[in-house]
Chains A and B, each alone.
Chain A
């Protein structure tokens, strides 16, 4: 086991495109860290630099106390699970799992023992003699995991390992990977564009955008205290409602707003149907209601200006679609999403008053996009 350290690591491609800029990141020994961000944010490049599949333009990567910048992949003692599994199609499951052991000249008897142990961990004992094409997608994914596990490496690297599975299987495998990682306590770096995966699996999550680390924190901290507009809109589903100005909502005493253009961020669960009584509130008209069983999501149009800066749009969708989203949202009104109790009676076209839980508000400086703290 070992810690991983990124020290001012940059990667610039031949055409001058900076894939990763001055990344500083410390992954503790045995920790499960998720790199998350929209496509093109540099997360996969960062992972491939740890593996040695991508050269580093500047900076230093250490695994344990070894600087690995110039070490070939096979000398880094890392194992990687690829998005497309990258199994060897002409080999059986046992041969696939055992290939790395064969390369390392592990004695046959020991190799067989380790392959069988691994097969037990991934639940494929009865499939050791099958070829990959005879396996289902989920089983192939397990073989890919098995190949990593059998090595007993210092570091697991996983590049969107679940994105080719269907939704149900993904949830199941999510739990399984977390379980195996905890059981083996191997330092793990996991790349995904799915913030739900990031939030549920990571001990800590590094949010990246355009090659730059935005925030590196525990999932709950990312949710409760996003560092900037991008993280605020990227983390959370449905996304945070971000509106220009303060909507007359009270600012916490410790925020100095003088001379700043502010935006307010309201999580959907910070809004509720106002009952009689005091308290800050916003008024609007219900557009649609999504019933989800235990709760419902009400889309309410209010008198306010939505924030359409790139930070927010890119947090909501991939960069390439952000223009379309901006178009949809620029009709002068803002639609906020409120997470309401299933028992609340709201219907489209209802005029409603939404109470705002002021303890859960976030304020951002619109110039810099940074959170006001």
Chain B
């Protein structure tokens, strides 16, 4: 009995240690974000004097007012929304089309095509920036929405995710649809795609977050201020101009606003990821 009590106490102590460690890690991880949010409510002298303080003194929303008075900020938001929505919806559609073809259609060179796509995943994105820039120029898409959007429309990782998911859907469900009279596109659209909802949600979140936070691609594809996205705009704010002060509250207010859509998305969708084929077939 005594040894039982000792064991329980030891386990509790062990748990306490584990959780303390995890909590410490979590705090370290989230601390920069908290600083960003808090600083956006500081005055500029306060932010300069006490950059790491967690209590704005005095608290003010002047940075946000300043942003909302700035016409550029709304241009950035508008551009980010246009690019992100176009990229996200088209990418989910195109990645899933490609994934379905690679998972289910029999055609010559299928293995090679997939191998190539996987190989592309191994190439660092930075390496491709200059070639992308050259191609965008060649196609006359430089400094247009097309140049910003088209190169982001398909990504290897998304095709990979979708292919793997489609392969997990029982073939008999598709065969059943074939016998029921559906053609390949109809099977993809009406049967397979709805069953792939968990993968689509994942891909949607990844694409949204990826294109919302994209910076390098926008730097190489456009130069007009009218095509600045939030990332590009905030980056320019952050690099600052001489004589304009450090403008920490303003920069961090913009950053804070920028994180809201992605955070909301995660919040909304995290519970929607579930088993799609439940009830389709008897395992």
Name A residues whose Cβ lies closer than 8 Å to a Cβ of B.
Answer: 51-53, 72-74, 76, 78-80, 82-90, 99-100, 103-104, 131-135, 137, 140, 147, 151, 164
Complex alpha-carbon distance, A140 and B176, angstroms: 14
Chain B hits for A80, CB < 8 A: 175-176, 179
Near A by CB (< 8 A), chain B positions 159-208 give 170, 172-173, 175-183, 186, 190-191, 194-195, 197
A370 to chain B, nearest CB (A): 38
Could you tell me the distance in whole angstroms from the C-beta of A134 to the nearest C-beta in chain B?
Answer: 7
Asked if B281 and A74 sit within 8 Å, CB to CB, the answer is no
Query: Which chain A positions have C-beta within 8 A of B173?
Result: 86-88
| Least CB distance, A254 to chain B, in whole angstroms | 49
Can you show 17 pairs from A to B with CB atoms below 8 A apart? A74-B182, A82-B175, A84-B170, A84-B282, A86-B281, A87-B279, A89-B280, A90-B194, A90-B195, A90-B197, A99-B177, A99-B180, A103-B186, A133-B279, A134-B279, A135-B279, A164-B282
Q: Which residues of A contact B181 (CB under 8 A)?
A: 74, 100, 103-104
Extra contacts besides A80-B179, A103-B186 (19): CB < 8 Å: A53-B175, A53-B179, A73-B179, A74-B178, A78-B179, A84-B170, A84-B282, A86-B173, A86-B176, A87-B281, A88-B191, A88-B195, A90-B276, A99-B180, A100-B180, A100-B181, A134-B279, A140-B279, A140-B282
Closest A residue, CB atoms, query B172: A86
| Chain B CB within 10 Å, residue with most, of A52, A85, A132, A164 | A85
Q: Report A-chain residues with C-beta under 8 Å of the C-beta of B182.
A: 74, 99, 103
With contacts A90-B195, A134-B279, A164-B282 taken as known, whether A84 is within 8 angstroms of B172 at the C-beta atoms is: yes
Report how far A85 CA is from B281 CA in the complex, Å: 6
Please measure, in the bound complex, the distance between the C-alpha atom of A80 and the C-alpha atom of B96, giving whole angstroms: 28
Task: Report yes or no: B175 in contact with A86, Cβ–Cβ below 8 A.
Answer: yes
Q: Are B180 and A103 in contact (CB under 8 A)?
A: yes
Interface residue? B278 (CB, 8 A): yes
**Across the interface, do A132 and B170 meet the contact criterion of CB distance under 8 Å?**
no
Query: Are A82 and B180 closer than 8 Å at their CB atoms?
Result: no
B279 proximity list for chain A (CB < 8 A):
87, 89, 131-135, 140
Selected from B178, B186, B281, the residue in CB contact (under 8 A) with A73 is: B178
- In the docked arrangement, what's the CA distance between A100 and B182, Å? 8
Q: What is the bound-complex CA distance between A104 and B178, given in angstroms?
A: 12
Which single residue of chain B is at the shortest CB-CB distance from A163?
B282
User: Please, how many angstroms separate the alpha-carbon atoms of A139 and B160 in the complex?
Assistant: 36
Q: What is the CB-to-nearest-CB distance from B117 to chain A, in angstroms, rounded to a whole number?
A: 25
A88 touches B175 (CB 8 A): no
C-alpha spacing A87/B276, complex, angstroms: 12
Point out the residues of chain A lying under 8 angstroms from B177, CB to CB: 88, 99
**Identity of the chain B residue whose Cβ is nearest the Cβ of A157 in the assembled complex:** B179
Residues of chain B within 8 A of A133, CB atoms compared: 278-279
A324 to chain B, nearest CB (A): 28
- Nearest-neighbour CB distance to chain A for B88, whole angstroms, equals 22
* Interface assignment of B79: CB less than 8 Å from any CB of chain A: no
B280 lies within 8 A of A87 (CB): yes
B277 at interface, CB cutoff 8 A: yes
Which residues of chain B have C-beta atoms less than 8 A from A164's C-beta? 282
Contacts of B179 in A (CB 8 A): 51-53, 73-74, 76, 78-80
Please tell me if the beta carbons of A147 and B172 are within 8 angstroms of each other in the complex: no
Considering only CB atoms, which chain B residue lies closest to A165 in the complex?
A: B282
**B269 CB, min distance to chain A CBs, angstroms:** 17
Nearest Cβ in chain B — how far from A83, in angstroms? 8
A130, closest chain B residue (CB): B279
CA of A133 to CA of B280, assembled, Å? 7
Bound form: Cα–Cα A164–B283 in Å: 9
In this complex, the member of A73, A131, A135, A151 whose beta carbon has the largest number of chain B beta carbons within 10 angstroms is A73
Q: Which residues of A contact B276 (CB under 8 A)?
A: 89-90
| Cα distance A72–B184 in the bound complex, in angstroms | 12
- B183: which A residues are within 8 A, CB to CB? 74
A74 touches B195 (CB 8 A): no
Q: How far is the CA of A88 from the CA of B174 in the complex (A)?
A: 9
CB-defined contacts of B283 to chain A, threshold 8 Å:
84
B182, chain A: closest CB distance, angstroms? 5
Q: Which of B172, B186, B190, B195 contacts A82 (CB 8 A)?
A: B172
The 10 closest A-B pairs by CB, nearest first: A133-B279, A132-B279, A103-B181, A84-B281, A100-B180, A86-B172, A89-B280, A86-B176, A74-B181, A90-B194
Please, how many angstroms separate the alpha-carbon atoms of A76 and B181 in the complex? Answer: 10
Across the interface, which residues of A come within 8 angstroms of B278, CB to CB? 89, 133
Report B-chain residues with C-beta under 8 Å of the C-beta of A83: 172
